[in-house]
Structure 1
Amino acid sequence: MTTLSELLGGAGAPETFLGLPKAADAGQGDIVILGADCATPYASVGAYCAGGADAIRAGSADYMGDRARINFDLGTSMFPEGVQVVDAGNLPTDAQNAEGNRARIRQAIAEVVDADAVPVLLGGDDSLPIPMLEALAPRGPLTILQIDAHIDWRDDVGGERWGLSSTMRRASEMAHVERIIQVGARGVGSAGPADLAAARAWGATIVPAVELETGGLQAALDLIPEGAQVVVCFDCDALDPSIMPAVIAPTNGGLSYGQALTLIRGAAARGRIVAFDMVEFMPANDRDGVGARTAAQLLTSVLGIIAGQVA
């Protein structure tokens, strides 16, 4: 029997995102998707976002099939002809061996960079971007556009300096990172006054979600220099929980799908996206696959945006 997904152009449950070709290693393709469950999980919660990358892949089922179809979020076909987008699968991770996890992520991203391709990292908790950013040193100087409900500027949590609450703090210590623009912070999170002061003292620009309806989107984009090398660090909790329930701390007032896409398209118009991560997708908190489908729709458009730059 033909399923509704097949009638709409899909092709069943995907092994890879969108049913894209599998890559034997991270050095194949113009754009390379990689997944990981965790990098540096806190001992008290473990790898709470395990399975996030595969859930996002599953959410792409409705978009599988003929990739020449029009993506009306972009007004073009899904990918330009001739651009090779591949899925290299998931990196092995061990919640008891954070150093090993970070090393594997660094190595895999470095292979993609060495092949002059664009890495797209899916997960998984928000400590994943730290080793990814370390491996991007050859692409520097970098402008980071973080789209997130939290600023992630704590120096440590219980003595752990490489966890998800410290992502941007660790990024600020990397010599090849020259600019951090943070969009979407809202509600009461983990940051204290000293964390906010440290972010501002370093020079990070923070655009809270409440400012997005009053010019904040364009103000954030105006901070990206023309021709910048941009890394987009996208935390799923940046989106409003009405469309993205699959996060650890749903907080009202998040970005709409359109606002998120406008930011990413705007970043690509200002500079060149050299890496992208989509993290902190928590499958256990999803509702009827709503979050997975939202993530997959956004990621499909992100891949199209990046493909347009490498074509």
Structure 2
Amino acid sequence: MKLSDMLGAGAAETFLELPKGDLAKLGAKIALIGADGCTPYASVGFYCAGGPAAIRNGATDYGAILSHMNFDLGGPVFPNDVVAVDCGDLPVDPGDAAGNRALLKGAVSQVLDQGAVPVLIGGDDSLPIPMLQAFEGRGRKLTILQIDAHIDWRNEVQGENWGLSSTMRRASEMGHVERIIQVGQRGMGSARASEVEDAVKWGVEFVSGREVARDGIGRALSLVPEGADVVICLDCDALDPAVMPAVIGRTAGGLSYNQVLDLVAGVQGKARIAAFDMVEFVPSQDIGGQGALTAAQLLTAVLGLIARQV
């Protein structure tokens, strides 16, 4: 028995039973796009395959009650008419990383061309690279807020320069990215001391998971300039595994649901969310669907926050 059984929700063809979107003609201000992966490492492949579908399934409780009060937002998810569409999953190919990057960049470019906000769900953490590339030449300087247990500053891993451990390194090389704020890092991962030094030298501001636990999110939000165009890159492993077990490497000391939501809400309150991604959801690691429920609840609130700025 699920809440959706009682409330009359249907199967999750789209997230929140949103209208299906056509990238060529959105007719909406927010476009949700899924992708199972982008640039995989040979050793693991598309280990997040099925992530977008799992997140959609996690929201089945909400589809029939979308107009009800959402207490995470203080009102219905969408304050007026529906302003979001779900464009489904892109046909990515584990054997064609370059083609995947071109496909993702093209899809996000179509969304931006129509003045809408792209929201990506996936899928490994290499997805944000082509999403960020799509902003090139648009006259917009970006602030990136990365919320992640890892810093993703490796130049290469296993001979691959465009993989999930290199996302922020590649972002730092883009001329339209002027600021990177990284929140939530903890434990150990692919980063070595030299990568941290490179990031600090570039100008990255780090707010560790321990700092957030001790002092809250205030300093992180203070680093976001008023009125900035902000791309929020959320890796599911930023969240504590108690509420988000569906990740490849569970690490204690993660951010709470409310800390992540307050970060996004804080950005929306002082700046503009130009794009958002939620990546690194690993369905095979989920426990009793808990991760999918957390991801869906959070993504629902994020869509509501973006809807309030467009």
SS in 2 for 1:53: helix
Shift of 1:113: 0.1
C-alpha contact 2:237 2:244 (8 A) present in aligned 1: yes
Letter in 1 for 2:14: T
Secondary structure in 1 aligned to 2:61? helix
**Secondary structure, counterpart of 1:294 in structure 2:** helix
**Residue 128 (structure 2) pairs with residue 129 (structure 1):** yes
Match of 2:41 in 1: 42
Please state how far the C-alpha of 1:188 moved relative to its aligned partner: 1.2
For the 8 Å contact 2:155–2:161, the answer to whether it is kept is yes
Letter in 2 for 1:121: L
TM-score by length of 2: 0.97
1:151 equivalent in structure 2: 151
Tell me the residue number matched to 1:208.
208
User: 1:203 Cα shift?
Assistant: 0.2
**2:62 and 2:225 mapped to 1: Cα distance?**
34
- Which segment drifts farther, 142-151 or 27-36? 27-36
Cα deviation, residue 13, structure 1: 2.1
Letter in 2 for 1:11: A
Identity %: 60
Contact 1:41 1:163 in 2 (8 A): yes
What SS does structure 2 have at the residue aligned with 1:233? strand
- Indicate the residue corresponding to 1:67 in structure 2: 66
Does structure 1 residue 102 correspond to structure 2 residue 106? Answer: no
Separation in structure 2 between the aligned mates of residue 270 and residue 60 of structure 1, nearest angstrom: 28
Post-superposition shift, 1:19? 0.6
- 1:81 is matched by which residue type in structure 2? N
| CA-CA distance at 1:6 after TM superposition | 3.7
* 1:163 maps onto 2:163 in alignment: yes
Alignment of 1:172-183 (within 5 A): 172-183=172-183
Calculate the aligned-residue CA RMSD, in Å. 1.3
State the Cα deviation string for residues 183-228 of structure 1 (Å, max 9, x = none): 0000111100110000000000111100013334100000000000
Cα distance in 2, alignment partners of residues 26 and 187 from structure 1: 43
Q: Distance in 1 between matches of 2:2 and 2:187?
A: 42
Q: 1:191 to 1:10 in 2, by over 3 A?
A: farther
Distance 1:10 1:121, change over 3 A: farther
Q: 1:186 to 1:3 in 2, by over 3 A?
A: closer
Closer/same/farther in 2, CA of residues 260 and 26 from structure 1, 3 Å limit:
farther
**Quick check: 1:27–1:114 contact (8 Å CA) kept in 2?**
no
Corresponding residue pairs, total? 308
For residues 176 and 135 of structure 2, the distance between their equivalents in structure 1, rounded to whole angstroms, comes to: 8
Amino acid at match of 1:217: I
Matched-pair contact (CA < 8 Å) for 1:149–1:184: yes
Contact 1:30 1:83 in 2 (8 A): no
1:76 partner SS:
coil
Deviation at 1:233, TM superposition (A): 0.2
Matches within 5 A, 1:262-301: 262-301=262-301
Asked whether the 8 Å contact 2:180–2:205 carries over to 1, the reply is yes
3-state SS of 1:39 partner: coil
Native 8 Å contact 1:39 1:127 kept in 2: yes
Partners of 1:208 and 1:80 lie apart in 2 by 34
Q: Determine the structure 2 residue equivalent to 1:259.
A: 259
* d(CA) in 1 for partners of 2:266, 2:255: 15
Going from structure 1 to structure 2, the CA distance change for 1:46 and 1:58 (only over 3 Å counts) comes to same
Inter-partner Cα distance in structure 2 for 1:39 and 1:48: 11
Structure 1: gaps spanning 5 or more residues: none
Contact 1:26 1:88 in 2 (8 A): no
Which of structure 1's runs of 4+ aligned residues deviate more than 3 A? none
| C-alpha distance in structure 2 between counterparts of 1:264 and 1:162, whole Å | 26
Contact 1:225 1:271 in 2 (8 A): yes
1:24: how far off?
Answer: 2.4
Distance 1:218 1:80 in 2: 27
Instruction: Determine the C-alpha separation between the residues in 2 that align with 1:243 and 1:34.
Output: 24
> Aligned with 1:61: secondary structure?
coil
Q: Does structure 2 retain, via aligned residues, the 8 Å contact 1:26–1:32?
A: no
Q: Aligned runs of 1:49-88 on 2, under 5 Å?
A: 49-88=48-87
Alpha-carbon offset, residue 25 of structure 1: 2.3
